[in-house]
Structure 1
Amino acid sequence: MKATVFDIGKTEGGRSLWAIAISAYAPDRHVLLRPEVKYIGNMHGNEVVGLELLLSLIEYLLTSNDNQVVELINRSRIWIMPTMNPDGLELSRYGDCSTTNGRYTLNNIDLNRNFPDYFGTQLASPIRALETEAIMSWIGAVPFVLSANFHGGAFVINIPYDRYYIGKQSISSDDDVYQVLAKSYMTRIGEMSRFCDIKNDEVGTAVHGADWYEIIGSMQDYGYLNYGTIEMTMEISCCKYPTEDLLMPYWNVNRDAMIELLFQAQRGVKGLILNEYSQPIPFTQIMIDDRRPVINVTPLGEFWRILLPGVYTLKVFFRGYEVHRQPIVIQDVLIQLNLTIIIPQVAYVPYSFQPIRILSAFVTNSVQSLSLSYTLILLSLTLCTMK
């Protein structure tokens, strides 16, 4: 079992944003087809339960001999950033359940209102925080499959979208996945609602962010819409900064839920899209059915998609034009798709000198297809047991 510590960037106060990557092998680099997952805590500096949980999780992953933990770190690289806002943490107050002391950065920016909006809507602050820029660079460099951001001050699992988009749309194309993952987590930790003085219909549920209260510039929407990462915001403590005696009960209840959620990056479909020379094809994307957003294939030709059991259509796009589609069946196993796509010049050269077609995250009409008679698809399926 190994770990590598990364300095992701600096805060306004000059502090480092530390993240630790944990895996059984090569935690210092990306490994072909190994899923990347991340947990972030303390985005708001006065919400400390997530920070404490993630510190405990790091220790648990590095010291436990539990078979489930061993399997998890053998099959994935787990990134953990205990605090995204260490400057705010320094200003927070022990035992303060409800105020905003320490919530913001040193230049008074709410980090969960500071990420670029999909449609370019003006944010609450015209300044992009150093912390935000660091996270954007990080998630742009690592192909994260799954992410959770741990907050406090409420007891709900917040799923996309955090704002209303076209036609008051607050439900994403992956809502079926989000509902299962969020409800599974909440079921495991539901007993902690006894510490909540807050009484409303949302307590102990999964809720679409915009239907709870709308915000613009959330990290959750940014990661999902731009990279297809399954992102969730975990509001796991009604008290933002509880006293020390409550921290162990939170860990005891959340531990197994956190482990189970990390395993979800292993379900669905993953694979490679290559040409006949086993080389990745630039400007390639995949789409499952008409689910948006489309997923950009990595520079190595990789893709991942978390899916529930069912029958789907996998579509491959080159420069925004469909070049292949095929049915796939997701059962209780992981289907690894290794696609080698041969595209003769007659099929792709006409598009190589044109602007790349942008497939919107929200438009659901069909896109133009290339003739499949010019495309040779070599497909290998490898069935692997899914946790």
Structure 2
Amino acid sequence: MILFRENGLLLLSLFCVFYRGRTFEFKYQHHDNKQLIQILENVHDTCPNITRIYTLSETSVRGVPLWVIEFSTRPGHHEILKPEFKYIANMHGNEVVGRELLLRLAVYLCEAYLNGDKEIRSLISMTRIHLMPSMNPDGWQLATDTGGRDYLVGRPNNNSGGRDYLVGRPNNNSVDLNRNFPNLDRIMFSNELNHINYNHHLLKSVNSLSKPLQPETKAVIRLIMAIPFVLSANIHGGDLVANYPYDESRSGAAQDEYSTSPDDETFRHLALAYSTYHADMANPKRRGCGDSMSDKFPKQGGITNGAQWYNLQGGMQDFNYLSSNDFEITLELGCEKYPDASVLPIEWKRNKNALIHFMWQTHIGIKGIVYNIKTKIPLSNALIHVRNITGGINRDIKHDITSVHDGDYFRLLTPGQYKVTAIHKGFYPRSRTVIVTNEPYSPAVRVDFGLRPLTHQLQADGEEYLSYPDSRSHYWKIWENDRDQMAVE
């Protein structure tokens, strides 16, 4: 199966930038599904050397392509030691601000690059960026066709009884896409209770699903499995907060249970990286969005642990973290899900710096290449394990990541001292100590590992170093086959 397919189309049109005699136009409005691709095509036509447009493997239920625009100095290719980043918006069709912000961001990245903006040129040269403005175009269409904002501002304490607040939220099969991903949290929590040292890439353990995957969900899962994303954010609306894992509570409590992930410190940093660069998300004096939990967010720096806010099963955020090397947070960008188009320029100004700053977080921590020290051949699927030894802490971070096809790996970390170990079947493990400082606008600290092959008699002993089973589940094989067949060009 080929995951991506190239497409060509048209142009669009009041904000103007002149570059070499060309007019780059962007009108702040609620762009429909045809206008969405027109804007992406306009960006690609203007910046053909640093962009590529592709669609995911599945369309929406109603057959609308799921479009992505990529920014890179070598579009269409994973480059060794160049991390991958993604933004996905409009997962809930009636939450539209993120959709418009990503369209505006695409225009901005192209325009800034052409105008010689040093920061944006550096960001694009160091990062492969993927922007998906709408994961749920059918829901957007329903929300818009049934009245747009006039039908979507109701909350349970309003006269609408909350019913209209959900119009367009699910896909065309009436499924909430942010409850439709395989529930890997329960597998993780079970492994913790049973002291099973298997803490990553948990899709390998899924042999059955409690509910069928929607085409939009399946398409995004294949994207996650195909491209070695390092960092991402899922953009929503309805509140103003940066939400981080875990979304699911261990006890099943509906609310007020902090569900800590092994990378809690890093996730808090990532959430704050957005909230503190937003115009007022982290402002302790701002008002919340009207419920008791929302009113606490301003005093928490504009961030929240997912399960402490409310328990959520089958969400995309936790799925990314537990199925791949990707760290994802969820961004709620405003109290009103479907605001009037007149506020969109204001929302761009409020979010622009945060959107850019968050992408730079792809470069915190460490990166490197794992290879056979004798042959110099890169080793994919090497396990990277980290122990925090800052100030004598000496604590394992029980979430491992793996090297990808070319042997490169990326491990997000906050400043500190760490002992990092690379492990691969058939090789002696190797550890190195590293100090992480996370200098702004700089690449991650490079830590390579040359692994020495085990002698024949020690091959069996080496198995104990692997913290994941050799067996592959039915569903993992499907995703793995898709990845191998499309082999990100």
TM-score interval (norm. to shorter): 0.7 to 0.9
Alignment match of 1:102 (pick from 159, 163, 168): 168
- Judged with a 3 Å threshold, the aligned counterparts in structure 2 of structure 1 residues 111 and 58 are, in CA distance, closer, same or farther, namely same
Greater radius of gyration (CA): 2
Q: Are 1:171 and 2:260 counterparts?
A: yes
Return the alpha-carbon distance in structure 2 between the equivalents of residues 33 and 187 of structure 1. Answer: 28
In structure 1, give the amino acid aligned to 2:177.
Answer: L
Deviation at 1:16, TM superposition (A): 0.6
Moved more, 343-352 or 272-281: 343-352
Return the alpha-carbon distance in structure 2 between the equivalents of residues 233 and 320 of structure 1. Answer: 39
Q: Are 1:315 and 2:421 counterparts?
A: yes
- The residue that corresponds to 1:182 in the other structure is 271
- The residue that corresponds to 1:74 in the other structure is 125
- Judged with a 3 Å threshold, the aligned counterparts in structure 2 of structure 1 residues 342 and 309 are, in CA distance, closer, same or farther, namely same
Give the match's secondary structure for 2:297.
coil
1:124-173 Cα deviation digits (max 9, x unpaired): 97121001100000010101010001000111111000002389771112
Aligned-residue Cα RMSD (Å) equals 2.6
The answer as to whether partners of 1:320 and 1:356 remain within 8 angstroms in 2 is no
In structure 1, give the amino acid aligned to 2:173.
Answer: N
Deviation at 1:314, TM superposition (A): 0.2
- The residue that corresponds to 1:152 in the other structure is 237
TM-score when normalising by structure 1:
0.86
Return the alpha-carbon distance in structure 1 between the equivalents of residues 264 and 171 of structure 2. Answer: 32
Deviation at 1:196, TM superposition (A): 5.6
The answer as to whether partners of 1:311 and 1:330 remain within 8 angstroms in 2 is yes
Give the match's secondary structure for 1:10.
coil
Give the match's secondary structure for 2:331.
strand
Deviation at 1:284, TM superposition (A): 1.5
Select the structure that is richer in strand: 1
Alignment match of 1:114 (pick from 174, 180, 189): 180
Give the match's secondary structure for 1:188.
coil
Report sequence identity in percent: 35
In structure 2, give the amino acid aligned to 1:97.
Answer: V
The answer as to whether partners of 1:315 and 1:322 remain within 8 angstroms in 2 is no
- The residue that corresponds to 1:288 in the other structure is 386
In structure 1, give the amino acid aligned to 2:69.
Answer: I
- The residue that corresponds to 2:456 in the other structure is 346
Residues paired across the two proteins, number? 358
The answer as to whether partners of 1:35 and 1:76 remain within 8 angstroms in 2 is yes
1:41-100 Cα deviation digits (max 9, x unpaired): 000000000001000000000111321111100111100000000010000142223411
The answer as to whether partners of 1:283 and 1:319 remain within 8 angstroms in 2 is no
In structure 2, give the amino acid aligned to 1:329.
Answer: I
Return the alpha-carbon distance in structure 2 between the equivalents of residues 288 and 339 of structure 1. Answer: 14
- The residue that corresponds to 1:28 in the other structure is 76
In structure 1, give the amino acid aligned to 2:367.
Answer: K
The residue correspondences of 1:136-147 to structure 2 (distance < 5 A) are: 136-147=221-232
- Judged with a 3 Å threshold, the aligned counterparts in structure 2 of structure 1 residues 227 and 215 are, in CA distance, closer, same or farther, namely same
The answer as to whether partners of 1:43 and 1:83 remain within 8 angstroms in 2 is yes
The answer as to whether partners of 1:321 and 1:357 remain within 8 angstroms in 2 is no
Return the alpha-carbon distance in structure 1 between the equivalents of residues 371 and 332 of structure 2. Answer: 40
The residue correspondences of 1:184-263 to structure 2 (distance < 5 A) are: 184-191=273-280, 197-200=289-292, 201-204=295-298, 205-263=302-360
In structure 2, give the amino acid aligned to 1:50.
Answer: G
The residue correspondences of 1:331-342 to structure 2 (distance < 5 A) are: 331-333=437-439, 334-342=444-452
Structure 2 unaligned runs (5+)?
A: 1-48, 155-164, 191-205, 388-395, 470-489
Give the match's secondary structure for 1:164.
coil
Give the match's secondary structure for 2:357.
helix
Return the alpha-carbon distance in structure 1 between the equivalents of residues 467 and 412 of structure 2. Answer: 25
- The residue that corresponds to 1:278 in the other structure is 376
Give the match's secondary structure for 1:291.
strand
Moved more, 253-262 or 97-106: 97-106
Deviation at 1:283, TM superposition (A): 4.0
Deviation at 1:182, TM superposition (A): 1.2
The answer as to whether partners of 2:92 and 2:176 remain within 8 angstroms in 1 is yes
Deviation at 1:336, TM superposition (A): 0.8
In structure 2, give the amino acid aligned to 1:301.
Answer: G
